[in-house]
Amino acid sequence: MVLLFGGSGYVGRAFARELVARGTGFVAPSHREVDLLSEAAVREAVRAVRPEFVINAVGFTGRPNIDGTEKERLRCLQANTVVPGVLARVLEAEGVRWGHVSSGCIFDGTRADGEGFTEEDAPNFAFRHAQASWYSRTKAMAEILVSESRLCTVWRLRIPFDEFDNPRNYISKILRYERLLDVTNSISHLGDFARACVESLVRPIPPGIYNVTNPGRITTREVAEAVRRHGLTDKAFEFFESERDFLAAPGRVKRASCVLSCEKIQRAGIPIRGVHEALEATLAAWKPA
C-alpha cells in the first residue's frame, strides 16, 4: 500500500495515474482528512495505513502561475517547506521510505562549463541570487529539511508537460500566453516523471536527490515551432525582446530557466526518453481541453 499526499493536485494526479497503471493500491487523503502541518496527524495516518512508501506531491506553485506565490507567501511556505519538514521528522522516526517532489527552479542557467547542473551542485537560484523568488526559496529550504531524513528520495521536477491540456501544462501555457520568453530549459514529461519517481521507490534506488527531467535541453522557440508543426495552433508566436522586457510587467517574478543533468537517475538504472522524443510524442497525442 502506498500513501500519497497531495494526490488531488496537478502533479499528484500523475502519481495516482501511475499507481493505477501499475495496479498498486494507494490511499490519497485530502488536507481535511490529514492535516499535514501537524506531526501528530501525519504520524496517525502513517500508522493507520502502514504504507510500503509515501509520496509527497503537495506543493503550491501559485495562481495562475508562479507570480501568484508572491501573493500567498504563507501558504506557499506551509505547502512547500513545512509539510516536507513535518514528513521528514515523522517518516524518519517511523522508518518509512518516501519521496518528495522538489523543483529544478532552484537553479538558473547552466553550470559555468555550459553543462546542466548535477545533484552535486548547490542551488544558485534560492539564497544567493538577489532575484530569487519566494517560491524558489521555499523549495530550496525544503531540500535542506528533507536532507535530514535518510529515507527520503528527492525528485526535482522541471516545467511539467504532457498531452492533456491544462493550465499547469507547459504546452497549454505556450498555446495561451500572448508573448513568450525564449529561454533554454530542461523539462519533464509529467507521465515520464511520475513513472521514474515511483520506479525509484519500487526498486528501490538509493535515497538522495535526483533530477528527473527528460534528457537534453530545449528552447521555448523550439517548443513553439513544434506546436505549430503539429497543428495545435496556427498563430504566429510573439516573443519578448529580452528577459528585462518580460520582467517589466508589474507583479512578475524572475523565472529560473535552467538546464539540469539527469544522468544520475539514468545511471541508477531508470531510463527516461529524450526531451525531443517526449515532446514529439506528446504533440502527436495532443488532447485539447
Q: According to CB under 8 A, which residues from 81 to 120 bind its own copies? A: 81-82, 85-86, 88-89
**Of 129 and 228, CB closest to its own copies:** 129
- Only one residue has cell 519533464, namely 188
Q: Is 127 in the site for its own copies (CB under 8 A)?
A: yes
Between 105 and 187, whose beta carbon lies closer to its own copies?
Answer: 105
Lay out the site mask for its own copies across 19-48 (x = CB under 8 A, - = otherwise): ------------------x-----------
Choose one: 12-20, 131-139, 205-213, 281-289; the region binding its own copies (CB under 8 A). 131-139
Taking the C-alpha atoms of residue 269 and residue 266, their distance in angstroms, rounded to an integer, is 5
Residues 14, 101: Cα–Cα separation, whole Å = 12
Cα–Cα distance for residue pair 54/191, rounded to 1 Å? 18
- Grid cell, residue 124, equals 544558485
- The strands making up 208-211's β-sheet, listed across from edge to edge, are 26-27, 2-5, 53-56, 97-103, 152-157, 208-211
Among 77, 157, 183, 278, the residue binding its own copies under the rule CB under 8 A is 77
Q: Which is nearer to its own copies, 24 or 38 (CB)?
A: 38
The residues, any chain, with a CB within 8 Å of residue 125's CB and separated by 6 or more, are 105, 106, 107, 108, 132, 136, 256, 258
Which of 132, 174, 270, 275 binds its own copies (CB under 8 A)? It is 132
| Number of residues engaging its own copies in binding (CB under 8 A) | 23
- Name which of 109 and 204 has its Cβ closer to its own copies: 109
Q: Which is nearer to its own copies, 143 or 192 (CB)?
A: 143
Distance between CA 175 and CA 165 in Å, rounded? 10
Is residue 168 part of the contact set for its own copies (CB under 8 A)? no
Q: Enumerate residues 184-243 that contact its own copies by CB under 8 A.
A: none
Residue 137 in contact with its own copies, rule: CB under 8 A: yes
Count, residues in the chain: 289
Residues lying near its own copies in the complex (CB under 8 A) are found at: 37, 73-74, 77-78, 81-82, 85-86, 88-89, 126-130, 132, 134, 137, 141, 144-145, 148
